[in-house]
Structure formats: C-alpha cells, structure tokens
Amino acid sequence: MKNQSIRVISLLCLCLGMAHAASSHAAAAKRKLAAGSRPSILLIVADDMGQTDLGIYGSEIRTPNLDQLASRGLMLTSYYASPLCAPTRAMLLSGTDNHRAGEGLMDQTVEGADGYEGHLNDRVATLASRLKKVGYHTYMAGKWHLGYRDEQSAASRGFDRSFTLLAGGAAHYGMVGLRGASAQYRDDGKLVDSLPADFYSTTYYTDKMLGYMKQSAGDGKPFFAYLAYTAPHWPMQAPEADIQRQRGRYDAGYEVLRQNRFAAWKARGFAPRDAQLPDLPPGYTPWSELNSGQQAKSARAMEVYAAMVERMDTEVGRVLAYLRQSGQLDNTLILFQSDNGAEGGFDRGATANDDVALDDIGRPGSWVYVGKGWAEAQGAPYFLQKFYTGEGGIHVPAFAYGPALGVPSGKRNDSLLITPDVAPTLLEFAGADAGVPKEQPDALPITGRSFAAILTGETFTRRRGETDTVGWEHSGHAAIRRGDFKLLWVGGNNPPTAGVGPARPSPAARNPVPAGSTPARASAPARPALNREKMAEGGPAGEPVGKGGPWKLYNLRQDPAELHDLSAQNPQLKSQLLDEWARYARESGVIVKSGVDNAQR
C-alpha cells in the first residue's frame, strides 16, 4: 500500500510538473506573440564554412561577434544540413526535404522526376511568403541559388526586398562568375547590369540588409532578414588589410592546423579527451609532398580564407551594432549556420594554384582554392567534406541567440536537428500557421519539426528520440540516422564539375575592375536536362544510390569520427536501417539505381 501511494504521489508530481512546463511554455508563447512584440528574425548562413572555423569552436581566426552570439546563446551541437549548398537553402525556405522542394540534384533538371526541377519548385510555400502573410517585412541579401528565371527569384518567392546572387558562386569582386561567365545578380527581382566600383560581396550584402532594416525601422512591424553570405566560398578573395592580418599564421601547414584545431575542440568540451581524428579522404596530398613554392601559395590561400571569415564576422558586428543602437536587438531572434561542411572537393592537387602569382592570391582577379588539406583542418572532428554525407559534409556549426526571448544563454543542446526544422520553428515564434496555406491547397506540407520549445528553454521536449529517423541523399551519397546510429553510403562518383566546378576564368575574364554587365535575361548553367530512367541507370551528373559503398554502420555518440564500422557486429540493426532508408527514399522521391534491392546489405 505504501509503495502504491508513493507511485501515485510520484505520478501526480510528474503530471503537475508537465502541466507547469506546458503552462510556462504557453505563457512564454503568449508573451512572444503579444501585439507589437512578435520577434524579428535574423537568419545568417555562411557558405562552405567548416565546423571549427569560429573561435568558439577552437579556431585561431578572430570572430568576436559570432563567438559572442554563440557563447551568450544556445549552441546546437547536433545540427545537420545537406551536403551541398542549394539543397540546404531549399530546405531552409521550404521546411521539407530537398528532394521534395526541387533540389534533388543541384543545378540539374531531371525530366519526369518531381523534386528534381533544379530550382525551388512551386509545390512548396516558402518561409518568406508565410511570414509576409502574417505581417512581417521580408528581406534577403546574398546567395539565392534556387532558380534563375523571373518567377523563380527571391522577389517572386515572398521577399519584399532582396539583392541576390543567382548562381552557386562568383568572384567576390566584380561580376565575374563561374567558368568565366558574367555573374548574375537581381536587385528586387530585376537583373543587375553593373555593380559599384567598391563592391565586395560580404560588405555589400551587409550594406543592403542594413538599408532594408533602416527603411522600415519604427513602423511597428517585425522583420525576417535572411543574410546569406557567400563567404568563405571559393574563390579566396578578401580586402588587402584583412589578408595582411593573417600573414604567417599558416606557414606550418594544414596538418599542424588540423591537430591544433582538434585539440582546441576537445579542450572546449565538444568531444572527449580521448577522441580520435577521422580518416583522411582519398586524393589527400601530405604537406611534406608540396615543394616550398607550393607550400607558400597554399598557406597564402588559407590566409585569405581566414580573412574572409574575419570579414564576415566584422559585417555581422555591424548588423548587431545597428540592432542594439536602434533598440531592436532584444526582440530579435538570431540563428546562424553553415550551409554544408568545409569545401575540399575541387582540389586539383599540388598544382591547383600554380598559375597565380603568390602576391596576387586573394586580390581581385585571382581565382584560388584551399583544397582538401585545409578543408580537413576546418572540419577536423568529422569524416569527409562538402558533397559527402559523412559527418564532415553535413554536421555543421549552428547556434541561436535571443536571451530576452527566452533562449538559454551560455548553454549547449545536443538534440538532433535538421535544416527543415528551421521553417516551422520560426513560424511558431511568429505565431504563423505552419500548415498548408489556404491560398495554395496543393502545396506540400512542412515535414520539419519545430524546435521552438528548445529555444525557449523547454528542453524536456526533445525533437527526436531513439525511434525517429532522418535521411540524406545527393549525387549518390546517402545516409540514414536513427537515434545514435547512422548508416552511411559513400558513392563511387567524385564531386561534380560541369557548370559549377573549379575551372578558373581565362586571364581575359578575370577582370579586376568590380563592374561589368550581365545578359539581358538570366540563364542557368548550360547543363542539359537528364532523363529519369537514364539517371536511374547511373547518370553522368551523379550516381543514384546503388553504385559505390558499401553501407557502413556507426554509433555516432561513441564514434563521431566514423572510424569503426559496426555492420558485422549488428547485421539486424543494419538491415532495419536499410529498410528505413528505403522508406525515406520512397517518401522523399529519391531516385535510386534501377534494380537495387539492398543486395549490398
């Protein structure tokens, strides 16, 4: 009887505790959504930034503004993006998987395959349009990479004001685009035919965003500001003064930097003291195999990379200063993430930057890369890099800031979160409906899960438990995760180069003058549409899952570096996860290689 009474009392206490938590959450929601006090939202996305590139994660790069946001906010230590930039951006704005939102294969149309349109499709309602509907100003500055046509522009997908780069990358000075073509920009939906003489991407995007914010300041409406920097995406270019501050910092080489970053990562408690570095990727060139001239150029390229990250931090600082001075910072929820892991896939070995003079690296007109070695240092704790579904390609730095809105300060949360979760989270903060819009009844539903409760300190609610699964796929690289276990498939193909790769512009095209012209009509990269059936056989732009591999099983809590394949010890679990993968692929519309029936179990 006594034990029964204790159980009853315990149950009553539990129910009361849950009721109190629910009541507190409801009260917090009421405070956030009171008239005139809905939070503004600043979403900052870095391009190709590695896990350890900010000071707070163990970097030697000076990033005081972002470090302060992270240290005074909530660090999301188990946050995942896509292995490539456009798929991540599609997930951010749609709240669902990239295969459903139109970026099943980046920059590539696959005929007869819904979700493979090569742009943000019309089957999804965007986060911007949803927030605009409930009274938010909607602003964007930076990289769009979700469509070239007028009807595919940011202005046509819910943004009131926007200045956007259409392609996946471009020179940071002037209008030099990929493979020597003119870079294409839109200003409030209209194609831009010239840029200011002092144009530098990171600074100009910030100028634009600040202009939008100031124009509407004081009108009582909150804003959604999407600041999508192209830093530190190649080519490595930065203001000379920023580069000079890095001189000599990387002369010891990328292997030393990798060890230093990893040691700092562990010292900050992001991994156990006895954690090991992951294996190096195929095609890796040891620092000792570079001659002295190649080492000097490689180190200089990394100096410029660091300068680009520092410049991004400085520009974020300008935005924060304005929000603070204008009294808006306390009512602004800030989210930061990288769009994927560190970029190393376009390395061409020791001779990658041989045709650029040492003193020209980083200046307008230069076109250089850091390559696999430095990318391994940037993503030190994790296996592989951008383009791959290893942890180094999809596990990215992310944090949220908003102490006055209830976001825990100086805390870390290891709940499994994915990029599609952002849209429903922000909609909940805004008091907006995350359901299918009445005016777009055929729209696909949001599949991400709001983590607003985590951001308001209600951490008793975890977004995913031991039975929830999350999947990824792009270009034949795939993964499925359930709880602590992840099944990884590394496909047989290499990173794509057609239309987006590292071929540098000819000397004539590397115009250092930051001005130029674009075609009268925007055009996508010249990549012919693929046929679904041909793609399923193994298309030229990327193998669907079924070639490469085999599938490997990892316990990420015990082995975040993905060093120890547990397939042989856990065949039943592997089989279960393969079934989960098949379900994810079927529900998301992933093109899987013809005839593949999990024979590679």
Active site members: 85, 145
Asked if residues 517 and 194 have their Cβ atoms less than 8 Å apart, the reply is yes
Q: Which residues pair with 187 in a beta bridge?
A: 163, 190
* Residue 130 near residue 427 (C-beta atoms within 8 A): yes
Among candidate residues 315, 131, 141, the one with its CA nearest the CA of residue 213? 141
CA 50 and chain centroid, separation: 10
CA pair distance 404, 334, nearest whole angstrom: 12
Residues making up the chain, counted from first to last: 601
Within a 10 A sphere around the Cβ of 77, how many other Cβ atoms? 17
Q: Which residue blocks in 277-388 are alpha helix, DSSP H?
A: 292-325, 371-378
What gap in Å lies between CA 478 and CA 164, rounded to an integer? Answer: 30
Helix (H, G, I), strand (E, B) or coil at 202: helix
Six token digits for residue 592: 């899987």
Cα four-point dihedral sign 302, 525, 188, 152: negative
Structure tokens at 432: 């907006």
Burial class (CB in 10 A: 0-12, 13-18, 19+), 323: buried
- Of 38, 84, 147, the closest CA to residue 341 belongs to 84
Residue with tokens 């299918």: 436
- Tell which residue, 232, 319, 235, 298, has the closest CA to residue 53: 232
- Cα(298)–Cα(361) distance, integer angstroms: 10
Whether 489 and 477 have beta carbons less than 8 Å apart is answered as yes
**Which amino acid makes up residue 497?**
T
Strands 74-76 and 411-413: parallel
End-to-end CA gap in the chain:
53
Helix, coil or strand: residue 422: helix
Distance between CA atoms of residues 209 and 57, nearest Å: 27
- Cis omega (within 30 of 0) for bond into 232: yes
* Of the candidates 201, 179, 507, 169, the residue with the CA atom closest to the CA atom of residue 360: 507
Bond into 441 cis (ω within 30): no
Beta bridge partners of 139: 161, 225
User: Which residues make Cβ contacts (< 8 Å) with residue 197, sequence separation at least 6?
Assistant: 513, 514, 515
Task: Find residue 291's DSSP bridge partners.
Answer: none
Nearest-Å Rg of the Cα atoms of the chain is 23
Amino acid found at 586: R
Contact 278, 383 (CB under 8 A): yes
Secondary-structure percent of the chain, ordered helix, strand, coil, rounded to 5: 35, 15, 50
Q: Give the residue from 234, 400, 418, 244 showing the smallest Cα distance to 333.
A: 400
Distance CA 327, CA 332 (A): 10
